Amino acid sequence: MTKNANRGKNMNIKVKIILGLTTIFILSSSFWPKHVAGDNDLYDSRYVNSTGDSLNAISSDPILTINNGGGGMGIDATTSGNIAVRGLATTAGSGINFGGYFEAYKDSGVGVNGVVNGTTGTGVYGLSLGGENSYGVYGKNTNGVGVYGTSVHKDGVVGKSETGYGVYGYTKSTNSFKAGVNGFSSTSAIGIYGKSFAGVGVYGETLSVSQHAGFFSSLKGERLAGAVLYTTAASVHGIAIHAKNDSPNSDDATAVFSNDGSGALIKGFGGDGGEHDFIVENSGRIWNEGGVSTTILEIRGGADISERFDVNKGAEKLDPLPGMVVSIDPGRPGGLMLAQQIYDRKVVGIISGAGGIETGMVLGQTGTIANGSRAVAISGRVYCLADAENGPIKPGDLLTTSNVPGHAMRVNDYSRAQGAILGKAMSPLDKGKGLVLVLVTLQ
């Protein structure tokens, strides 16, 4: 150790400190060192230690202060060994101490800048030998980003773990739109990408009873190309979507679909690129371009089997209404008209929908003669307009057409009724005109 005292002088100096394997060069245009080793006589002094490997002192002030007003580096350290600069804080107990502490005051300043020239090196490396709650690298920001990584060609931030999480994100925010991990892409690249060779690619879990393990939203997506959730299965026996409710006590649905607009709830497309092979409308109506195969079909919304026909108003120009009896229109193949003669063998059925009983099944073929605007019951139970002028109607009576347009009456002449029987009455009509429940059984 050598000492050159220049007390009270502002001078330009060059200091070279050799500490074993560590060499520190100090270049300064104005150098005002503070107390060293507690010796006031060493104020404004220069030190060179050519044999030792440490500079020891006991002081609450900095041992060495370097102030370079010329714009150059405060400290430039070079070594032929492995460590150019090493800092060690030996204070034990609670609280935080730092092996190295760096600050930068510029708006775009960098507190610590690590650069490596090796092809597999690391610019900044942090190692923790503590317990499971310690951190190799810890970043904190009171307003902005705690840790920020960027790369020109590869990954900006890479996390790796042998037994735990490669990357762990945690937030205490009460804002439901803040996240422990947030992925963002300003281009067509993927915001978040998950991949696993043996496990789950992306896994979401929530302990809340009113929140979701996964939530996806799009403000601009349109049609299939802009679908909020898009899944593909490329394997031969792959399944794109599998939903399962694991609770043995579950009393709710496995999947729920809702549409606040007028569009369909579900659309299905065939592998040949066909359009609208299967549709579930918002009303619950199901459209299917293919066939339906089932063991038991239960219909809970109607009680008759109908076919679609166009119904002529007839000579009386009466609007066809639910409950009216209709017959074949000789002048229009495939069309019907209101029945208006007694014992009409052209009788077909009753327009469905009267008395609050709807049709259960409607047959027809769009774009052909076998279609129309009215559902006409040809079998089942349906309310029918009837006239009791030919006699009171009782349950079990056979019914046929009457001379009142669209009305049925009781059969009195069974020989004339052959081929003109509409069905059997299931409710009475003592007099006048009214609705009678009919079991349609054309004969």
With a cut of 90, say whether residue 126 has pLDDT above it. no
Residue 39's pLDDT is 42
Taking alpha carbons only, the member of 324, 378, 392 closest to residue 348 is 378
Contact indicator for 24, 78 with CB cutoff of 8 Å: no
Look at 123-137, 245-259, 381-395, 424-438 and tell me which has the smallest mean pLDDT.
123-137
What distance in Å separates the CA atoms of residue 148 and residue 257, rounded to the nearest whole number? 40
Neighbours of 351 (CB within 10 A): 26
Q: What's the average model confidence in pLDDT over 340-357?
A: 97
Output the CA angle 219-220-224, nearest 5 degrees. Answer: 115
What is the widest separation between alpha-carbon atoms in the chain? Answer: 143
Domains and CATH numbers, the chain: 1-158 (no CATH), 264-293 (no CATH), 304-441 (2.40.300.10)
Strands 76-78 and 266-268: unpaired
With a cut of 80, say whether residue 129 has pLDDT above it. no
Rg of the chain over all Cα atoms, to the nearest angstrom? 45
Residue 183's pLDDT is 78
What distance in Å separates the CA atoms of residue 87 and residue 91, rounded to the nearest whole number? 13
With a cut of 60, say whether residue 27 has pLDDT above it. no
Q: What's the average model confidence in pLDDT over 200-213?
A: 82
Residue range 78-121, pLDDT digits in tens: 888 888 788 877 777 777 787 788 888 887 778 788 888 877 77
Residue type (1 letter), 277: D
Measured in residues, the chain has a length of 443
3-state secondary structure of 255: coil
Contact indicator for 349, 327 with CB cutoff of 8 Å: no
Strands 361-363 and 304-309: parallel
* DSSP notation for 377-403: EEEEEEEEEEEGGGS-B-TT-EEEE-S
Q: What's the average model confidence in pLDDT over 368-392?
A: 96
Residue 274's pLDDT is 61
With a cut of 70, say whether residue 23 has pLDDT above it. no
3-state secondary structure of 433: strand
